[in-house]
Structure 1
Amino acid sequence: MKKIRYIPYGYTLRNGRTIIERGEADVIREIFDAYIGGASLKCIAEQLTERRIPYSERTNIWDKARIARIIDNAKYIGDGEYDPIIDEDMYESAVSLKTARQRNTFERNCEGINLLRDYVRCEKCGAPMRRRISNKHRIRESWMCTNEECGLKVRIGDTQLLEKVTVLINRIISNSKLLVPRQQKKHEMSPAVQKTNNEISLELERDNPNEDFIIAKTIAMASQLYWDSNTKLQIAASIARKRAEMMNPQDEFNIAYFTDLVSYISLDEGGKIKLHTKTETEIGDEDNGSNQDT
């Protein structure tokens, strides 16, 4: 095993010659088998990290980029310097699959970004934000506040934005209590309720109160009290929680999950995002799920 990988994972140097490192070669074959079998780059990386499989003497942390480099590396089928670890058919299958998945991911990202165009707002002023593209910067994509007096501009790549939204949606799926709005403090009766209450009181003071009138006004007052409270929102939250509990965490942006759970998202300086749910709760990058009442 090497402290710094000057040669590809799966090989080592012995007496000045590059030879196969058998333990690492087994991991290489496992990676190709898993990827061809349907596992994602992220899933493979997480499993190897969880199992503490060393990548080098310095780290046993794996990520998508390392797995992708291994799959792209044609040296594993052998050349003049490197002995083969896998056969050519396995390599071609994995590379073809990776190309197809990248194409599908690009198409899904386009669909996701097209959807978000109508959902992104400025965290500072609440105005809609518009996506812009510039080839002058390393990160080509940015979002500009449409409020000229605000002018907030956030540079964030499409992939990063969709990944951040997906992480927050997965957080909701893992903890549906995040959809429960905070209990509102009790307020005084609204003018409409006070008026109806006074009408009932006056009618009751009559020598022969009209029972039908009192019943109708009582029903009207109960209806108004319902609308003045957050009961409707609590019912909506209960329904939303049941829907979220039927969802599964996703590796990629899911349009159906997003539209089911989210009213809009807000962008702040530095690319911080916040989901504003349909039950009027907020989940942001910095939240850990502990800010909700149980």
Structure 2
Amino acid sequence: MSNRYIPYGYKFEAGQPIPHPDESQIVREIFDRYCAGDSLKVIAENLTHRQVEYSSDKASWDKARIKRILENSRYIGSDECPALISKEQFVAANLKKEQANTNKLTIDDDIKLFKELTVCAKCGKKVTRRTDSRLAEPVSWKCAECGWSVRLSDARFKAQVIEIMNALINDPDSIVPEGSAPEIHTLESKRLLNEFHRALDSGQASEGELIMMVFQIGAANYQAINSREAITARLAADYSKAEPLSTFQRELFQRTARRLLMDANGMLSIELQNGKIVTERNE
């Protein structure tokens, strides 16, 4: 890397880029202020007013310059540059920027996917997404069964999902279910169990027929358990190979999630395809 291409926020020392004592603080300030709600324009005008130099004798900031800093993934650390900000802050800032580029009330395809999968963490009933353009945060989620409602931006919703997926990437072993296997609820096992109870209640089935039904129910449950183990192995393999995410990866999420669980505070958990519920996030 030459001096010409070193990103703002760094300087060379002994031929290696290190954080510039003043510029690195400005980079952190830009991310902090943008995540806190300041616009690109407000941040640029403030830095220009304070005569913060972008390069030698240049202190004129604009929205494009702020945007380039927010989009530069080298600030979370790379082979060339040490980290100036956390990966979580970079993700949050860029999700906020994505949302700012569209109408706040326009729902994107990822949020449509989340809507279909989101249920109340307490009662398991569907949680609905609502919008009100008169409010500073127009998006809210409501559980009619439990009676709670929480305001949660689409950007923060997506950021939470990414945080949980990154926790799985960081620790693929956490995908493996703990303790005993959950109760099996496949359609086939339910059908066979209903037939067994009907036959038992009728009093017309022979002992041999009832025993055969019990064997069939056991076989269906055994197949479901084997399927659960296969899903766990596939998920663990997927996350062992995956790199930490800075943006939402739809395909990986669809292979991962059975449901999204939201509590009354707007905190999300993911129910994996193998039935395990994951709430842990990277620190």
Q: So what's the TM-score if we normalise by structure 1?
A: 0.55
Deviation of 1:132 (Å): 0.5
In 2, Cα distance between equivalents of 1:186 and 1:273: 21
Q: 1:53 to 1:31 in 2, by over 3 A?
A: closer
Q: CA deviation at 1:222?
A: 11
What is the CA distance between 1:154 and its match in structure 2?
2.2
The aligned runs of 1:141-156 (5 Å cut-off) are 141-145=139-143, 148-156=144-152
| CA shift for structure 1 position 110 | 2.5
Matched, 1:268 2:227: no
- Does 1:73 pair with 2:71? no
Change (3 A) 1:106 1:179: farther
Distance 1:267 1:83 in 2: 43
Q: Is the Cα contact below 8 Å between 2:10 and 2:19 reproduced in 1?
A: no
1:245, distance to aligned residue in structure 2 (A): 1.5
Q: Which residue of 2 aligns with 1:14?
A: none
- Match for 1:251: what amino acid? S
Report whether the alignment pairs 1:133 with 2:137: no
Aligned 8 A contact 1:31 1:67 in 2 = no
Aligned twin of 2:277: 282
How far apart, in 1, do the equivalents of 2:29 and 2:129 lie? Answer: 33
Q: How do residues 58-137 of structure 1 correspond to structure 2 at under 5 angstroms?
A: 64-66=31-33, 72-73=43-44, 82=51, 84-86=53-55, 87=58, 94-95=65-66, 97=68, 102-103=97-98, 106=101, 110-137=108-135
- Asked if the contact 2:52/2:59 (under 8 Å) is kept, the reply is no
- Whether 1:234 and 2:234 are equivalent positions in the alignment is no
CA distance in 2 between counterparts of 1:155 and 1:242 reads 35
Superposed counterparts of 1:2-13, under 5 Å: none
Identity %: 13
Separation in structure 2 between the aligned mates of residue 91 and residue 183 of structure 1, nearest angstrom: 56
* C-alpha displacement of 1:248: 1.5
| 1:158 and 2:154 correspond | yes
1:224 matched to 2:191:
no
Residue aligned with 2:108, SS: helix
Q: In the TM superposition, what are the counterparts of 1:241-256 in structure 2 within 5 Å?
A: 241-256=236-251
Matches of 2:217 and 2:145, distance apart in 1: 44
Q: For 1:48 and 1:151, locate their aligned partners in 2 and report how far apart those are by CA, in whole Å.
A: 49
> How far, CA to CA, are the matches of 2:98 and 2:227 in structure 1?
44
Residue pair 1:237, 1:279 contacting (<8 A) in 2 also: yes
- Read off the aligned partner of 2:168 and give its amino acid letter: I
Aligned residues: 217
- Supply the distance in 1 between the matched residues of 2:277 and 2:113 (Cα, whole angstroms): 20
Pairwise mapping of residues 209-220 of structure 1 onto structure 2 (< 5 A)? none
**Alignment CA distance shift 1:132-1:224 (3 Å):** same
Displacement of 1:272: 1.6
CA root-mean-square deviation: 4.9
Task: Note the C-alpha offset of 1:112.
Answer: 2.0
Deviation string 1:34-54 (CA, Å, 9 cap, x unpaired) is: 9xxxxxxxxxxxx969x9988
Unaligned runs of 5+ in 1: 1-25, 35-46, 193-197, 203-216, 290-294
Alpha-carbon displacement from aligned partner over 1:87-132 (angstroms, at most 9, x marks no partner): 4899675256479973587469833212211111111211111110
Shift of 1:271: 1.2
In the TM superposition, what whole-angstrom CA distance separates every residue of 1:185-229 from its partner, at most 9, and x where no partner exists?
799xx999xxxxx97xx9xxxxxxxxxxxxxx9xx7798186277
SS in 1 for 2:246: coil
Determine helix, strand or coil for the equivalent of 1:253.
Answer: coil
Q: Aligned in 2, Cα 1:159/1:103: closer, same or farther, shift over 3 Å?
A: closer
Deviation at 1:280, TM superposition (A): 0.7
- Unpaired segments of 5 or more residues in structure 2? 12-17, 72-93, 184-191, 197-206
1:32–1:90 Cα contact (<8 Å) kept: no
Distance, in Å, in 2 between the alignment partners of 1:262 and 1:239 is: 13
**What's the offset of the Cα at 1:173?**
1.2
Residue 282 of structure 1: CA displacement?
Answer: 0.6
Match of 2:166 in 1: 170
Mapped to 2, the partners of 1:110 and 1:33 lie a distance apart of: 36
